[in-house]
């Protein structure tokens, strides 16, 4: 399968790549086949090859919001990463490859006296994944600054969507509604004139607040659950006495209850902890927690 995919697409394919190295949780089994295309055209060829060979495709970004089960992922895993991470400025607009990190994007804008993305500097994800889920922090959301998204559909067709067509909402965009999901390759942001010194000071202050409140020194997927309407997930979890609660090597952080962290466990530990925390909160408060973390793959045998 690998040789055929590679021959048809012209993209380098690797076998049995451990996906634990591709996620911020440092968990997950192997991908049968793994590729990182370096352009939209290479991505389209790869998708066409997989379709012709009836190989299932899973697309990931930088893996900051991802739990891969211990059995790994069958078929082809395509990562939109470093080879598609270019950044360009033209006036008040910045166009970013989907594989760029949000931190890189925020720093790039700040260095050019462009404001509006300071909040994103500490979000541990990629531009593509962040736009799909409309990532945000400290009162800002990516969707507020996105004016154009380019990508490739699962059938290999190129597309462009405007801000209005993306229909951004809380941790949501129209990109999440399509099945199969389209793949973002490039995003254009329209920013505001600013002062590099002031923007970088704001970024430093937000970094200080993050370090003070969040368990940044252990593997996690960031905030594990979405904010329920009228509530805060961390407060509900804390209210239920779950700080420090563990399943195997997965733990509810004692520093911030909204963060579930990996302390040498398995993906099965982490998934079970997610489910148990959500069940306990529902039973004790009547509030249903919805995961922000995307769960993929198969359980180990």
Is 223 catalytic? The answer is yes
Q: Reduce the secondary structure of the chain to three states and give it as a string.
A: CHHHHHHHHCCCCEEEEEHHHHCCCCCCCEEEEEECCCCHHHHHHHHHHHHHCCCCEEEECCCCCEEECCCCEEEEEEECCHHHCCEEEECCEEEEECCCEHHHHHHHHHHCCEECCHHHHHCCCEHHHHHHCCCEECCEEHHHCEEEEEEECCCCCEEEEEHHHHCCECCECHHHCCCCCCEEEEEEEECEECCHHHHHHHHHHHHHHHHHHCCCCCCEEEECECCCCCCCHHHHHHHCCCCCCEECCEEECCCCCCEEEECCCCHHHHHHHHHHHHHHHHHHHCCCCCECCEEECCCCC
The CA distances from residue 290 to 22, 154, 192, 226, 294, in Å, are 23, 26, 34, 6, 11
Cβ contact 183:79 at 8 Å = no
User: What pLDDT is recorded for position 300?
Assistant: 84
Partnered with residue 162 across adjacent β-strands are: 148
Which of these CATH numbers, 3.40.640.10, 2.60.40.420, 3.30.9.80, 3.90.78.10, describes 215-296?
Answer: 3.90.78.10
For the question of residue 292 being annotated catalytic, the response is yes
Which residues, other chains included, contact 212 with Cβ-Cβ below 8 Å and sequence gap of 6+?
none
Helix axis angle, 196-213 to 102-111, nearest 10°: 150
Distance CA 123, CA 121 (A): 6
Per-residue pLDDT of the chain (301 residues; tens, 9 = 90+): 888 999 999 999 999 999 999 999 999 999 999 999 999 999 999 999 999 999 999 999 999 989 999 999 999 999 999 999 999 999 999 999 999 999 999 999 999 999 999 999 999 889 999 999 999 999 999 999 999 999 999 988 999 999 999 999 988 999 999 888 899 999 999 999 999 999 999 999 999 999 999 999 999 999 999 999 999 999 999 999 999 999 999 999 999 999 999 999 999 999 999 999 999 999 999 999 999 999 999 998 6
Residue from 128, 150, 148, 294 nearest 221 by CA:
294
100 in the Ramachandran plot: left (φ > 0), alpha (ψ -120 to 50) or beta? beta
What's the rounded Cα separation, in Å, for the pair 33 and 154?
Answer: 17
Single out the catalytic residue among 69, 107, 171, 227: 171
What is the tens place of the pLDDT at every residue in 57-97? 999 999 998 999 999 999 999 999 999 999 999 999 999 99
Q: Which fold has domain 84-199?
A: 3.30.465
Distances (CA, A) of 58 to 50, 173, 283: 11, 19, 34
* Spatial separation of the C-alpha atoms in residues 104 and 86, rounded to whole Å: 10
Q: Where are the domains of the chain?
A: 2-82, 84-199, 215-296
Given 223, 227, 253, 271, the catalytic residue: 223
Reported pTM: 0.92
> Rounded to whole angstroms, how far apart are CA atoms 112 and 104?
13
Tokens representing 291 are 């995961």
* Measured distance CA(28)–CA(47) in Å, rounded: 23
pLDDT digits (tens, 9 = 90+) for 200-232: 999 999 999 999 999 999 999 999 999 999 999
The CATH number of 2-82, from 3.30.43.10, 3.20.20.140, 3.40.50.300, 3.40.630.30, is 3.30.43.10
- Integer-rounded Cα radius of gyration of the chain: 19
């Amino acid at each position: 399968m690998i040789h055929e995919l590679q021959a048809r697409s012209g993209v380098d394919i690797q076998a049995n790549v451990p996906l634990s190295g591709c996620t911020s949780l440092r968990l997950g089994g192997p991908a049968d086949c793994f590729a990182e295309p370096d352009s939209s055209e290479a991505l389209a060829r790869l998708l066409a090859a997989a379709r012709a060979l009836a190989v299932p495709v899973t697309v990931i970004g930088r893996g900051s919001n991802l739990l891969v089960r211990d059995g790994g992922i069958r078929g082809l895993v395509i990562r939109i990463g470093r080879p598609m991470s270019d950044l360009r400025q033209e006036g008040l607009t910045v166009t970013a490859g989907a594989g760029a990190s949000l931190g890189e994007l925020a720093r790039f804008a700040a260095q050019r006296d462009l404001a509006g993305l300071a909040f994103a500097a500490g979000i541990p994800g990629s531009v593509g994944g962040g736009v799909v889920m409309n990532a945000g922090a400290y009162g800002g959301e990516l969707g507020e600054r996105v004016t154009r998204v380019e990508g490739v559909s699962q059938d290999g067709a190129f597309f462009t969507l405007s801000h209005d067509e993306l229909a951004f909402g809380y941790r949501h965009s129209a990109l999440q509604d399509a099945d199969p999901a389209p793949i973002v390759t490039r995003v254009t942001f329209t920013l505001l004139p600013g002062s590099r010194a002031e923007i970088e000071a704001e970024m430093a202050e937000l970094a200080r607040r993050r370090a003070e409140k969040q368990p940044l020194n252990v593997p996690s997927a960031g905030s594990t659950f979405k904010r329920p309407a009228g509530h805060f997930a961390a407060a509900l979890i804390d209210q239920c006495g779950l700080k420090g609660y563990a399943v195997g090597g997965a733990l509810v952080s004692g520093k911030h209850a909204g963060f579930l962290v990996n302390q040498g466990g398995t993906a099965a530990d982490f998934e079970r902890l997610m489910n148990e925390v959500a069940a306990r909160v529902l039973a004790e408060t009547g509030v249903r927690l919805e995961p922000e973390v995307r769960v993929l793959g198969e359980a180990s045998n």
